[in-house]
Structure 1
Amino acid sequence: MTIEYLTFGIGISFISWIIGMIFNNILVKTEFYNSLSHLNFIENKTLNKYIGLFYFKWVVNNTFFKFFNQKIKIRNKNTVLADIRREMTIAEISHLIGFVFVTFIALYKSISVNPLFGLTIMFVNVFLNLYPSLLQQENKRRLDKLMKRKLTFGTR
């Protein structure tokens, strides 16, 4: 039964990516979206390290996940960093929307089927939606520092 729960969790998390992109496209047209683009759940690097975000980043960079969003890459010195940041925000918010969507499904399954089903879904949801969002937040902080340095010292 746990394999079925895990399979369902993976499937619904992948579906949530599409749901997240759809709702993100709706939200991007609102004034509220600007405040969403500056979210920081975990600003502490030590805590990020403690929860294993470094290892998650390694997995993303060294597996098939690296091919998912090719717009989030600094290719050369002429790359427009503001465009990269915008794409990071889109990915971050889409994953957060997906996380909330799957959380509601996990709660429903916990009540209607059993708590193990909901916990299994949430386990997958954390790794396929929450961690990618946290990783984008960390990357945006690093990019913001780079953009600030570029403004302060000019392009080299």
Structure 2
Amino acid sequence: MPTVYKNNAKTVLKSEVLARLLRGLSCGQSRSPARTVFIRDVSYNLNTLMIKYLTFGVSISFISWIVGMLLNFILMKTGYYHKISNLNFIENKKQNKNIGIEYFKWIVKNSFFKFFNPKIKVDNKKTDLTEIRKEMTIAEISHLIAFIFVTVIALYMSILHNYLFGLTIMIVNVLMNLYPSLLQQENKRRIDKIIKRQRKTVANKI
């Protein structure tokens, strides 16, 4: 199996593999052994790189959750936290559906991800919705901080290595950080409507 080496931030195959390909092409052999070997080697190296990139992306995203929670804990002690606790990037329900938030919500409800936020659960009508909203905000801001953290790393890896590396990290980052943040924003909008109705009902009774 030919080895690979890095040259000017690009991964290239060794010259003998390319030479075999050229020999096969020069003879007009569209299905020559050289071409077959070349395609096999490229496919193998691409698969290996993608596994490496995806593994790194998932790992750094898990680490970013810890970073997000720690920085969120610090932000909670500042007056600035109240300003960022009412973010709404995509308010339109149809747009949220178009980008797949409904599918993502289903995945969260039916996978191990549902165990990450056990406090965000409405058990009955006596559940304190204000406290639930607070937990949603913590999750939202933590994921948003984590998203920014991983984005910086993705940009760095794009420059240091290649754009495919950075793009792969960002795809994982969107699924593991941006979408959870958008989901919590949608959940908060629903909670806010319920809280508003409850307060209106109490005011009418008075």
Quote the offset at 1:124 in angstroms: 0.1
Is 1:87 aligned to 2:116, yes or no?
A: no
- SS of 1:151's equivalent in the other structure is helix
Measure, in 2, the Cα distance between the counterparts of 1:44 and 1:147.
20
Aligned to 1:132: 180
Aligned to 1:10: 58
Measure, in 1, the Cα distance between the counterparts of 2:83 and 2:90.
16
Measure, in 1, the Cα distance between the counterparts of 2:125 and 2:185.
22
Measure, in 1, the Cα distance between the counterparts of 2:152 and 2:97.
28
- SS of 1:17's equivalent in the other structure is helix
Gaps in structure 1 of 5+ consecutive residues: none
Q: Give the share of equivalent positions with the same residue, in percent.
A: 67
Aligned to 2:124: 76
Runs of at least 4 residues off by over 3 Å: none
Alpha carbon RMSD of aligned pairs, Å? Answer: 1.0
Measure, in 2, the Cα distance between the counterparts of 1:83 and 1:119.
37
Aligned to 2:197: 149
Q: Which residues of 2 match residues 32-111 of structure 1 at below 5 A? A: 32-111=80-159
Measure, in 2, the Cα distance between the counterparts of 1:54 and 1:69.
18
- The TM-score, its normalising length taken from structure 1, stands at 0.98
Quote the offset at 1:78 in angstroms: 1.2
Quote the offset at 1:73 in angstroms: 0.4
Is 1:121 aligned to 2:161, yes or no?
A: no
Measure, in 2, the Cα distance between the counterparts of 1:17 and 1:23.
10
- SS of 2:181's equivalent in the other structure is helix
- The TM-score, its normalising length taken from structure 2, stands at 0.74
Letter in 2 for 1:92: E
Q: Which has the larger radius of gyration?
A: 2
Quote the offset at 1:123 in angstroms: 0.1
Aligned to 1:20: 68
Quote the offset at 1:17 in angstroms: 0.3
Measure, in 2, the Cα distance between the counterparts of 1:61 and 1:28.
27
Corresponding residue pairs, total: 155
Letter in 2 for 1:110: S
Gaps in structure 2 of 5+ consecutive residues: 1-48
